[in-house]
């Protein structure tokens, strides 16, 4: 399965854009890039996912490079409530029909006032 | 709409006792996953259900752990003869269509299990 590499931690000022990078140089052609976040004491929250094209929803934007070897999650106007661990995951197909998620250590994003 | 519901939210049990953890997935979701997260650690995959069958049990740490799913809906994770190392948050997730990589998993808030 494709592995991902993320910085262990990042800081961002409240109101500014948070840009979280992720490297996934061994990604396969049919593997999606998913982003989740986990706020303390809660289950992981789905943010966004994409295959080749850039994606945007009400929470964030996902920018995927043309060679698909890296991506960036953008929170356009970070708030204190966005402080969380952010996970970049390449979705792993494990035979049959199981597209399970394999979580790494993620990036701890701290939004400062 | 309702998300994934897990109960109880907290469970304290004595070493050696059996525990059952329950998960109610999002209505209509055919796939159901169990994960666990030990304190300060990442998420560890345990088992996957498609309907009522479990084609992937590769993450269950020992034969003390088992899970079942009935009616293609509710799932129960059972831990027999609990040990202190079983203390963790047990998370359940469901997804609409596991046959494509384009169907997000949605997680509940977990059951925090403490074995004393």
Q: Per-residue confidence of chain B (116 residues) as pLDDT tens digits?
A: 589 999 999 999 999 999 999 999 999 999 999 999 998 888 999 999 999 999 899 999 999 999 999 998 999 999 999 999 999 999 999 999 877 788 999 999 999 999 99
CA distance A31 to chain B (A): 7
Chain centroid offset of residue A110 CA = 15
Q: Determine contact: A45 vs chain B, CB below 8 A.
A: yes
Per DSSP, the three-state class of A82 is helix
Gyration radius of chain B over CA positions: 13
Determine, for residues B50 and A98 on separate chains, whether the beta-carbon distance falls below 8 Å: yes
The β-bridge relationship of strands A99-100 and B75-79 is unpaired
For B15, B33, B112, the CA distances from A44, given in Å and listed in that order, are: 28, 13, 14
Q: CA–CA separation, B16 vs B13, rounded Å?
A: 9
Q: In B, which residues are within 8 Å of A101 by CB distance?
A: 33, 43, 45, 105
Beta bridge partners of A23: A5, A70
């Amino acid at each position: 399965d494709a592995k991902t590499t993320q910085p262990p931690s990042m800081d961002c000022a409240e109101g500014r854009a948070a840009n979280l990078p992720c490297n996934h140089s061994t990604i396969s052609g049919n593997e999606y890039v998913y982003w989740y976040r986990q706020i303390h004491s809660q289950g992981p929250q789905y943010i966004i996912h994409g295959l080749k094209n850039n994606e945007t929803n009400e929470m964030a934007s996902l920018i995927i490079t043309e060679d698909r070897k890296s991506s960036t999650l953008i929170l356009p106007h970070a708030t204190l409530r966005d402080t969380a661990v952010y996970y970049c995951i390449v979705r792993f197909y494990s035979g049959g029909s199981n597209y399970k998620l394999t979580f790494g250590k993620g990036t701890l994003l701290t939004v400062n006032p | 709409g309702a998300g994934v519901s897990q109960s109880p939210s907290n469970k304290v049990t004595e070493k050696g006792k059996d525990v059952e953890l329950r998960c109610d997935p999002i209505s209509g979701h055919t796939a159901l996953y169990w994960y666990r997260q030990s304190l300060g650690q990442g998420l560890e995959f345990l088992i996957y259900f498609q309907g009522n069958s479990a084609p992937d049990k590769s993450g269950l740490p020992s034969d003390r752990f088992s899970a079942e799913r009935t009616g293609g809906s509710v799932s129960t994770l059972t831990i027999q003869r609990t040990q202190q190392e079983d203390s963790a948050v047990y998370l359940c997730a469901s997804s609409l269509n596991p046959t494509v990589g384009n169907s997000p998993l949605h997680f509940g808030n977990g059951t925090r299990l403490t074995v004393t």
